[in-house]
Amino acid sequence: MIALADLAVDPGGGQGGGPAVDGVTLTIGPGEAWAVIGRTGAGRSTLLAALGGALPPVRGDVVIEGQSLRAAPAAYRRLVGYVPAGLVTWPAIRAGELLELFAASGGLSGSRLRSAVERGLTMAGLAGAGQARIDHLPDGSAKRLLVARALLFDPRVLVLDDPFRGLDPLERRDLERLIADMTLVERCVVAALDDAAVPGCFTHLAVLAAGRLVHQGRAAPAAFPRRTWPFRFSVPGRAEDAAVILRSFTPPPEARDADTVVALLRGEGEVPALLHALAEAGIAVVAAGHDGPWAACLLDG
């Protein structure tokens, strides 16, 4: 379990205009995978760096299975696998050397170290390519190498900043499966996403605004009460007619083009009644759903 208590973090070391993350309190249970979203400058990367043990708090604390980031940072970091947004390109360092340095710093040596490095290279898709310079790696390989490094010691918590950046569709699928698999074995995952399209591998969602936690709950619209959600109905050639029908059920809908009408609903439970009304009027609906990522609606307050 992860417990954040009144966490405040200032990446500028007190030289800036105040903490980038301020007063975040959150509990993450075993087997939960949390996506953290927010607008640019909300503090997502700063929060993840603190959770990963890379930035110290200026107030509050983070505790993982009894180990405090403030009181026992070395013991805390042994429980966490932290994947930053990008790979630091030290001059001429090789992929295998990066994993060797990290494995050795964690106490591995000899055959255990070599075995861990080979496993990491295989996970990164670099089996037999340990001599590849990390500053020459494609973005996808670099990200996979960072994930492999974070998993060398089977962490209880995996912290991922912008985890899908640079990944191709198959690499993204593999990482989503890894996240889902970690929840099945009671690990915790926390990831900062650069958009509001939250994959199904995440069980929970947290929304940051100006460094503060403004929403939290299960990763489903029903967990976040709000007055209305925009829903899109695809009605080929009948958008104006559909808007007339839907006006009886919802706030004034928008015929976005000849084939698409968008209505504001209180939730997915209203959709069946609207589909029935459109069908009775002889209007064929070929698709219906949230208008864009549903979680994006939480960013406007």
User: pLDDT (tens digit, 9 = 90+) per residue, 259-280?
Assistant: 999 999 988 889 999 999 999 9
Beta bridge partners of 212: 209
C-alpha 119/C-alpha 9 separation (Å) is 34
The domain defined by 229-300 folds into: Alpha-Beta Plaits (3.30.70)
Domain parsing of the chain, residue ranges: 2-87+137-219, 229-300
- Residue 103: which H helix or E strand, with range? helix 95-105
E-assigned strand segments in the chain: 2-9, 21-28, 33-38, 59-64, 67-68, 80-83, 157-161, 188-192, 204-209, 212-218, 229-234, 254-257, 260-265, 287-290
Across residues 105-131, what is the average pLDDT? 78
Q: What is the pLDDT of residue 17?
A: 64
Quick one: the chain helix, strand, coil %, rounded to 5?
A: 35, 25, 40
Mean pLDDT of 228-239: 94
Question: What single DSSP character describes residue 97?
Answer: H
pLDDT of residue 288: 93
Q: CA separation (Å) from 294 to 112, 231, 268? A: 46, 9, 11
Q: Does the pLDDT at position 128 exceed 90? A: no
As a whole number, mean pLDDT of residues 239-258 equals 93
Query: pLDDT tens across 29-79, in order?
Result: 999 999 999 999 999 999 999 999 999 999 999 999 999 999 999 999 999
Q: What is the pLDDT of residue 123?
A: 78
By C-alpha distance, which of 146, 175, 35 is closest to 83? Answer: 146
Q: Which residue has the higher pLDDT, 122 or 287?
A: 287
Options 2.60.40.420, 3.80.30.20, 3.40.50.300, 1.25.40.10; CATH of 2-87+137-219: 3.40.50.300
pLDDT at 102 (0 to 100)? 78
For residue 243, the SS3 value is: helix
Task: Identify the pLDDT of residue 14.
Answer: 57
Phi, psi of 72 (to 5 degrees): -140, 65
- pLDDT band at residue 143 using 50, 70 and 90 as cut-offs: confident
Predicted pLDDT at 96: 81
Q: How confident is the model at residue 107 (pLDDT cuts 50, 70, 90)?
A: confident
210-227 pLDDT, tens per residue?
999 999 999 999 898 877
What pLDDT sits at residue 91?
65
Look up residue 125 and give its two tokens.
């898709």
